[in-house]
Amino acid sequence: MSGPTGATPLLREIFGFDEFRPGQGEIVDAVSAGENVLAIMPTGGGKSLCYQLPALLRDGITVVISPLIALMRDQVRALQEAGVCAGALTSGNTPEETDAVWDAIEQGQLKLLYMAPERLASGASLNTLRRIGVSLIAVDEAHCVSQWGHDFRPDYLRIGELRRALDVPLVALTATADQETREEIVEKLFDGEQPRAFLRGFDRPNIHLAFAVKDGPRRQILDFADARRGQSGIVYCGTRAKTEGLAHALREAGHVACHYHGGMEAEDRRIVETRFAREDGLIVVATVAFGMGIDKPDIRWVAHADLPKSIESYYQEIGRAGRDGAPAETLTLYGAEDIRLRRAQIDEGLAPPERRAADHARLNALLGLAEALKCRRQTLLTYFDEEAEPCGHCDLCDSPVDVFDGTTAVRKALSAILRTDETYGSGHLIDILTGQQTDRMRDRRHDELSVYGCGQEYNKREWQAVFRQMMGHDLVRPDPERHGALRMTEAALPILKGENTIELRRDTITKATRRPAVKALVSEEDAPLLSAMKAKRRALAEAQKVPAYVIFPDRTLIEMAEKRPQTLDEMARIGGVGAKKLDRYGDAFLAVITGEAAQLHPARRKLASAGAGTIYDALLEAQSRLVRGEDGVDKPLSCSASMLAKVAQMRPDDEFGVNRLLGERRAERFAAAFLDVLRGAG
């Protein structure tokens, strides 16, 4: 996909990519042109590039408001590695780091300045930003402005004031924004003035989606991790205690694993974040507190030991896997207790009733995904108003589910709800359907209802699966004002009246019969080379005290392992290898692949990343034939390496152009041969 005219060369030179990801080019174009922009992109969709690249194209400094110090430091490190002058002003800075940022500002070199939102509370910060020539504000994780979101940060509310004071364009980016949150972002950050909005495709085709009903969840998670031994992964849990217990179980099984939750000391959390960023193959078992600060592109899998709270949360959390575009896998476990917990969390919250009702509907949508009858990706993308063909790359495409006509069962359940005036939850309704004799049943005289005992073809667990699927089809919703009693939706009425039928999955609780097969990142033949390059990457990263992916992400190493470049020119065509990284690390990785480093003149080395290396080589060969003239008897004459590099780079198309670069004496001997080379390369 093409992008802005001035952006595409920088995309290759600085970031090492030949083309934009879907949606990036248009956003970069709008931001570069100075428009106010709201961009909703999936986690791992490349949001940071959408303000980093325009920052290089625009005059002045781009201020980036970001919620977590760890995230800022990682992005600054990665930009500096790519040759971009960037810095952060955070409470975690050393005095030397802060001095370096101010020196770069004073010298007019700094292009991106990262700041935490809390700094905006200081009047001095506003005066400073006015003085240093800010030309653009970028707001990362813009959903933090939503007061009803779980990531709400009060200081994000000051950003609108900052935009007005500096009178510069603003780009707000997030992956978590339903319509309600989008409206809050526009109101709080753009004063209600509609920005140019980009709602980009949510599909992450490299991520394999899978759900399973809980059936020994600890064993299920351990089996999933065992099949991916040595790969970096995250396990999300619903409680702090569970993170610690599951991390211990993983270590007992021989994995390198640690836990993370909001109750830990700040320093302990920082240690885990640093380890996860820098170590290959570490598993972190965490609550959702382990979230926005994770900018590690080569997480190979994400598992949920407990059901997330909504599709938005689910998609943001699994989106932390495979951000490099290489294959990644997910597994989400769910059960009746999860659903009860999530319902309770909604009902016990402080939100108004209409907000709680909306949250129950979101949870229903997630259950619909969990209990989907066909391609899971289709179901997921439909929620985000996108159409898709069956993906062939999810658990339901791998193994289509066994469905049955559930119309009779659903009508019985709806009748029980209707005949008890929509005042009970699924537990009591199942007791009615299965004909249980309880004190409540006798007290309410529900054993006298016509539906009492009419559902004895299913046991309690099977009826739980039916109700779960009814919620997933959004036929019933808990009523926040009736303590979770189930109410029918409009969609249920045609089924109740016999006008519509409905298919359900057979009970999805099954015993595991085999261990999952190991999924390899590369072929068996390429695996040893990939391991060797990972070892080299780790050594370089540890020497520089940076995360491994700052050197190269997994996706780049996988492509190197598969394509096995033999020269710097070939390596320059590998995705993720920009000019700066080619110069800094090209020899080291070529040595791993070929067994020896490339011996090149510095002028020739620079041409590799510009795609002019082969022209240089052809010019050098032409020169070698003419060092002593056409007949081999003239006085030796040659061009310097820098001269040849200029010819290769500028590609003059006539003798006058060659003469200007080489001088009259050299042009007389080499111009005709050089022009033949250049025209042949054109």
Amino acid residing at 228: R
Structure confidence by residue, pLDDT tens digits, 560-601: 988 888 888 889 989 999 888 998 998 889 888 876 555 565
Query: 112 exposed, middle or buried (CB, 10 Å; 0-12, 13-18, 19+)?
Result: buried
Residues 6+ apart with CB under 8 A from 106: none
- Are 553 and 456 members of one domain? no
CB 242 within 8 A of CB 218: no
Predicted pLDDT at 416: 96
Find the domain containing 670 and state its range.
604-681
Q: What CA–CA distance (Å, rounded) separates 36 from 482?
A: 44
Q: What CA–CA distance (Å, rounded) separates 426 from 408?
A: 17
Which CATH number characterizes residue 434's domain? 1.10.10.10
Amino acid residing at 441: M
Other Cβ atoms closer than 10 A to 230: 12
* Pairing of the two strands 233-236 and 211-213: unpaired
Q: What CA–CA distance (Å, rounded) separates 569 from 679?
A: 20
List the structure tokens of 611: 């795609």
pLDDT > 70 fraction of the chain, expressed in percent and rounded: 89
Predicted pLDDT at 507: 59
- Are 10 and 98 members of one domain? yes
Evaluate whether residue 32 is within a structural domain.
yes
Evaluate whether residue 633 is within a structural domain.
yes
Predicted pLDDT at 514: 39
Evaluate whether residue 620 is within a structural domain.
yes
Which CATH number characterizes residue 23's domain? 3.40.50.300
- Are 445 and 394 members of one domain? no
Its pTM stands at: 0.70
Q: What CA–CA distance (Å, rounded) separates 442 from 153?
A: 51
CB 636 within 8 A of CB 627: yes
- Give start and end residues of each alpha helix (H) in 490-578: 493-496, 527-544, 548-551, 554-563, 568-572
Evaluate whether residue 521 is within a structural domain.
no
Q: Which helix (H) or strand (E) covers residue 657, if one does?
A: helix 655-662
Predicted pLDDT at 56: 94
Predicted pLDDT at 511: 34
- Are 425 and 545 members of one domain? no
Other Cβ atoms closer than 10 A to 601: 15
CB 273 within 8 A of CB 295: no
Q: Which helix (H) or strand (E) covers residue 334, if one does?
A: strand 328-334
- Are 168 and 237 members of one domain? no
- Are 189 and 42 members of one domain? yes
Which residue ranges of the chain lie beneath pLDDT 50?
1-5, 509-518
Among 83, 548, 14, 541, smallest CA distance to 324 is for 548
Evaluate whether residue 1 is within a structural domain.
no
Predicted pLDDT at 609: 59
End-to-end CA, the chain: 23
| Residue 423 backbone dihedrals phi, psi, to 5 degrees | -120, 10
Structure confidence by residue, pLDDT tens digits, 385-439: 788 899 998 999 999 988 889 999 999 999 999 999 998 888 889 999 999 998 8
List the structure tokens of 16: 């090492």
SS (H, E, C) 415-458: HHHHHCCCCCCHHHHHHHHHCCCCHHHHHHCHHHCCCCCCCCCC
Q: Which of 199, 225, 241 is the last residue of a domain?
A: 199
Check residue 19 and report its DSSP letter.
S
Q: What CA–CA distance (Å, rounded) separates 52 from 169?
A: 14
Predicted pLDDT at 309: 86
Q: Which of 380, 398, 416 is the last residue of a domain?
A: 398
Q: What CA–CA distance (Å, rounded) separates 197 from 37?
A: 6
List the structure tokens of 397: 């495409």
| Residue 304 backbone dihedrals phi, psi, to 5 degrees | -110, 115
- Are 77 and 107 members of one domain? yes
CB 80 within 8 A of CB 88: no
- Are 447 and 577 members of one domain? no
- Are 421 and 474 members of one domain? yes
Buried b (16+ CB within 10 A) or exposed e, 44-53: bbbbbbbbbb
* Pairing of the two strands 476-479 and 485-488: antiparallel
Q: What CA–CA distance (Å, rounded) separates 245 from 295?
A: 26
Report how many domains make up the chain. 5
Among 173, 117, 119, 113, smallest CA distance to 141 is for 173
Residue the block writes with tokens 């009826």: 463
Among 204, 201, 200, smallest CA distance to 39 is for 200
- Are 143 and 58 members of one domain? yes
Sign of CA dihedral 525, 531, 532, 536: positive
Predicted pLDDT at 2: 42
Predicted pLDDT at 513: 33
Residues 6+ apart with CB under 8 A from 267: none
- Are 35 and 169 members of one domain? yes
CB 626 within 8 A of CB 669: yes
- Are 142 and 222 members of one domain? no
Among 507, 335, 424, smallest CA distance to 433 is for 424
Q: What CA–CA distance (Å, rounded) separates 444 from 448?
A: 9
Evaluate whether residue 510 is within a structural domain.
no
Q: Which of 581, 599, 617 is the last residue of a domain?
A: 599
CB 63 within 8 A of CB 126: no
Among 491, 154, 205, smallest CA distance to 321 is for 205
Residues 6+ apart with CB under 8 A from 348: none
| Residue 476 backbone dihedrals phi, psi, to 5 degrees | -135, 150
Evaluate whether residue 10 is within a structural domain.
yes
Evaluate whether residue 532 is within a structural domain.
yes
Residue the block writes with tokens 């909005």: 197
Which CATH number characterizes residue 561's domain? 1.10.150.80
